[in-house]
Structure 1
Amino acid sequence: MAATLDGEEERVTGLEQYATTAVKADALLAEHARLTKLADGGDDALLGLAARGVADDLALAEIQDMSEDAAGIVQHFRTVLETARATGRRVLPDETSPRPR
């Protein structure tokens, strides 16, 4: 009985290893098919791929520019706010001093 179980376990282990290898082979085959289709598509497919890459690069540069602009706007807002506070402190009476009657 033990020998039969050992044999079955070996077969199951072998099948599991085969399944893992088959899944990896399927993934490689799918990648090969995708690359072959891309290559067979001629220059148009490659140009499309390159154009998407360039568009991504341009979008990233635009996002970085917008982030820098936003940081500048925030800094300007802080400066204006601090100027308003300073002006308010000069113009408005101090809350801790006694008020004239």
Structure 2
Amino acid sequence: MLVDRFANTRADVQTRLMEHARVEIDDAIDVMAPMTLYPAASQQLDLARAEIAQGLTAGSASERRDRIANATSLVTTARAQFGQNITFVLGQGNLMY
């Protein structure tokens, strides 16, 4: 996690990445909204979005780290609702850092 490595150094980059994560979660929520097939996953994504919102206003790197970790865990739990063996791995060309 960037926050573990850099704490408050370049917190602006960390914040932008969190904002991007929020946009991605919003997209997932929008896609799932017309369907009621995955209510538990929708709830997990809503909670993850709330964690990100709190992380964006966090007063310290440790609080930001905790919020990011919570959001990541919630998204992982939501993803598990869709099936098994979802193992897409980003390659070096996809990574920003």
* TM-score normalised to structure 2 length: 0.29
Structure with the bigger percentage of helix? 1
**Bigger RCO (CA 8 Å, 6+ sep):** 2
Query: Larger C-alpha radius of gyration, 1 or 2?
Result: 1
Normalising by structure 1, we get a TM-score of 0.28
